[in-house]
Amino acid sequence: MSQKKLNVFRIVLTVLASVLAVLLCSCEKSTDGPLSVSDSSAKFEDEGYFLSANLDSGATIHLADDTLYLAMGKIWSFNNCSLKDIQLNYTQEDSILWIAPVIKIRSNGEDCSAPYFRPDTVLKLNLESRLKDDISVVKVKNDTDSLLDSIMVRRGSFRKDTFEIYLDSIFNDVKHYPVRTSDKGDSAEKPTVLRMLDSLTPRVFYWRTMESTCTHRVDMCKSVVPDTLYPTTWNVNDTNLVPIHYACADSDSVYCINSKWENDSSALGKLQERPDTIWHYSTYYMEKVAKCGTYNSFAVRNYYIGSKAYVIRELMIPAERETHCGPSSTEDWMIYNLATWKLVTNTDSTALVDTVFAHWDKAEVAPESLVVKE
């Protein structure tokens, strides 16, 4: 057990002993009134602890010249009257600025409410003088050196935009892959959506025909034709049974009521195979950005084929003096996977980034908008 934990344990024992002594010495008269929780002689100074913290409410990027908000929760300070100070210690490790808050407590014996954790606390920090140009990340830790949160630090500005991108039904047709939206806007290049084929997985479904008898004929047709009822979904882990039905050759006549077919699972045909292929594809949002730029936030609304997708993203535009780049796909491109909702970075795989660009270059350009007839 650490020395700090031992000190806290001793404090608690001292207070409990004091309270017990007061209880033993107290009277039981109705005029005594409430007993004091704290002993007026229990005076001490020590350190508490905290278990949670976050920077800028969980934002991705903090601009170096802005105020940084540090929210601290689950703070133990003995009671609500004993918090003397929250001391902030700063250390730099390479490009990381560490913040290590210390909970200072001092009790003067004042009788005060003592919930296990005090209310959460938010501190406004002006770190402009500490966030030198070589700092790219701020991290916060507690007294046990547990990392509680981190945030990237950049110099520049934010710009929030909303884009409307129409996704034509051609995006559902695998024969057209790769396919993308147009990158030509009214005055400049615009973001695009690309769908590309990743791989093919061949598979085989097994099936047998199954005799089926009509128990309620409607029309006595002169001639009939097979009307096999193939399943709408196939089970790859079992043999699929396909009932053999019949229909009148004359389309104006009805051979049998649909609900009056009775299947005979003991009368099966030979085992047959139905080849099938699974098409694996990925869909990406792609945008050319300023060199060393990145996203502070990214969201897509109404993402459906055959409608307009709404992309809401906040771009970090770096200042001229900014030397830290990314995270990004290349130094001036952002590629966002719309299936996994993750940014594709060149640190993950340069091969994937190169493959996406190769498919983008040769992709068919889909129609840009709905055709409205007068």
Measuring CA to CA, which residue among 202, 200, 199 is closest to residue 355? 199
* Stretch (H or E) spanning 8: helix 3-25
* pLDDT band per the 50, 70, 90 thresholds, residue 10: low
Residues above pLDDT 90, as percent of the chain: 65
* Stretch (H or E) spanning 91: strand 83-93
C-alpha span between 263 and 265 (Å, rounded):
6
Token digits of residue 146? 């547990």
Convert 88-114 to b/e letters by CB count within 10 Å (16 or more is b).
eeeeeeeeebbbebbbbbebebeeeee
**Coil vs helix vs strand at 350:** helix
Residue 110: the pLDDT is 78
Higher-confidence residue of 119 and 156: namely 156
Residue 13: the pLDDT is 57
323 close to 133: Cβ distance less than 8 angstroms: yes
* pLDDT band per the 50, 70, 90 thresholds, residue 9: low
- Name the phi and psi angles at 23, rounded to 5: -65, -40
* pLDDT band per the 50, 70, 90 thresholds, residue 356: very high
| Mean predicted confidence (pLDDT) in 46-64 | 94
Residue 374: the pLDDT is 46
Residue 25: the pLDDT is 47
124 close to 69: Cβ distance less than 8 angstroms: yes
Neighbours of 276 (CB within 10 A): 12
| Mean predicted confidence (pLDDT) in 223-246 | 90
For the chain, the domains span 3-22+35-154, 158-200+280-365, 206-270
Q: How many CA atoms lie within 13 A of 271 on its CB side?
A: 5
C-alpha span between 185 and 200 (Å, rounded):
34
Measuring CA to CA, which residue among 337, 328, 336 is closest to residue 293? 328
Residue 118 CA from chain centroid, whole number: 30
| Mean predicted confidence (pLDDT) in 264-275 | 94
Question: In this structure, what DSSP letter does residue 126 have?
Answer: -
For residue 173, pLDDT beyond 90: yes
pLDDT tens, residue by residue, 191-211: 999 999 999 999 999 999 999
pLDDT tens, residue by residue, 91-116: 999 999 999 999 999 988 777 888 88
pLDDT tens, residue by residue, 278-318: 999 999 999 999 999 999 999 999 999 999 999 999 999 99
C-alpha span between 366 and 180 (Å, rounded):
6
210 close to 272: Cβ distance less than 8 angstroms: no
**Coil vs helix vs strand at 352:** helix
Neighbours of 362 (CB within 10 A): 9
Residue 39: the pLDDT is 59
Looking up tokens 């981190």 gives 150
| Mean predicted confidence (pLDDT) in 260-289 | 94
Counting every residue written for the chain, the total comes to 374
Instruction: Work out the angle at residue 314's Cα, subtended by the Cα atoms of residues 313 and 319, and round it to the nearest 5 degrees.
Output: 145
Question: In this structure, what DSSP letter does residue 170 have?
Answer: G
| Mean predicted confidence (pLDDT) in 140-150 | 95
Residue 269 CA from chain centroid, whole number: 50
Looking at every residue in the chain, the average pLDDT score rounds to 87
C-alpha span between 252 and 250 (Å, rounded):
5
**Coil vs helix vs strand at 37:** coil
| Mean predicted confidence (pLDDT) in 83-92 | 94
Token digits of residue 353? 């980034």
| Mean predicted confidence (pLDDT) in 354-366 | 95
121 close to 72: Cβ distance less than 8 angstroms: yes
C-alpha span between 152 and 227 (Å, rounded):
65
For residue 30, pLDDT beyond 90: no
For residue 27, pLDDT beyond 50: no
For residue 22, pLDDT beyond 70: no
Looking up tokens 């100070």 gives 85
For residue 332, pLDDT beyond 70: yes
For residue 21, pLDDT beyond 60: no
Q: Where are the alpha helices (DSSP H) in 27-129?
A: none
